[in-house]
Amino acid sequence: MGKVVKNKKIILGFLVFWFLATGSGALAALVNWPPSPLGTQLYPDTDELSVLIKYLYEWAIGLGGLAVFAVLVWAG
């Protein structure tokens, strides 16, 4: 019986830690993010998902282009 209670305490402690840790991710939205390579700017007061997706997509395109350039230079 003592082992079951100990396991439940460990699981409860992990869940509390998990919920507190994921809450800090929400605070990251309040940071002033740099503009994307194509110029999209994120503002902390807007909460539109489409702007965030566009922002992440532009970063992926920019970093992908940089990776392609590096591979082409390396290949000769």
pLDDT at 24: 63
Handedness of CA 33, 35, 38, 42 (dihedral sign): positive
Distance CA 4, CA 14 (A): 15
pLDDT at 64: 94
- Position 49 confidence tier, pLDDT thresholds 50, 70, 90: confident
Identify the residue whose tokens are 């807007």. 46
Please determine, for residue 18, whether its predicted confidence score (pLDDT) is greater than 90: no
Tell me what the pLDDT averaged over the chain comes to.
82
Please determine, for residue 29, whether its predicted confidence score (pLDDT) is greater than 70: no
